[in-house]
Amino acid sequence: MLIVISIMIIMKFRFSIALKLLALILPLVCLPIAIVGYLSFQASVDRVNRLVRQEQMAKVKSTAEGINNIFDDCRLDLDTIASLPVLEDYFNARSFRLTAEAEFNRDNIVRLFTDFITRMAYYDQIRYLDHNGHELIKVNRREGSAPLFEMGDATVFQNTRKAAPREIHVSSITSSGAKGGRVIH
- Verify that 92 and 139 share a domain, yes or no: yes
Q: What is the DSSP letter of 124?
A: S
CA-angle at 140, arms to 156 and 104, nearest 5°: 100
Range 102-112 average pLDDT: 94
Q: Is residue 24 in some structural domain?
A: no
- Mean pLDDT of all residues in 117-141: 85
In a domain, 10, yes or no: no
For residues 167-177, average pLDDT = 70
Q: Are residues 137 and 167 in the same domain?
A: no
Residue 139 lies in a domain: yes
| Angstrom distance (rounded) from CA 20 to CA 51 | 47
Task: Please state, for a pLDDT cut of 90, what percent of the chain lies above it.
Answer: 38
> What is the rounded average pLDDT for all residues in the chain?
82
Q: Would the pLDDT of 156 be above 70? A: no
Q: Would the pLDDT of 93 be above 80?
A: yes
Q: Please indicate, yes or no, if residue 97 is contained in any of the structural domains.
A: yes
Same domain, residue pair 104 and 128: yes
Is 31 part of any domain?
A: no
Out of 36, 59, 82, pick the residue that ends a domain: 82
One domain, residues 76 and 110: no
Which residues is 138 bridged to in the sheet? 127
* Any domain includes 62: yes
74 domain-assigned: yes
Structure pTM?
Answer: 0.63
Residues 93 and 133 reside in one and the same domain: yes
Q: What is the mean pLDDT of residues 133-144?
A: 80
SS3 165: coil
Asked if residue 22 belongs to a domain, the reply is no
**Residue 53 is part of which domain span?**
44-82
Name the band, by pLDDT with cuts 50, 70 and 90, for residue 2.
low
Number of structural domains (the chain) is 3
d(CA 16, CA 144): 95
Rounded to an integer, the average pLDDT of 76-91 is 89
Residue 146 pLDDT class (50, 70, 90 cuts): low
Q: Are residues 128 and 89 in the same domain?
A: yes
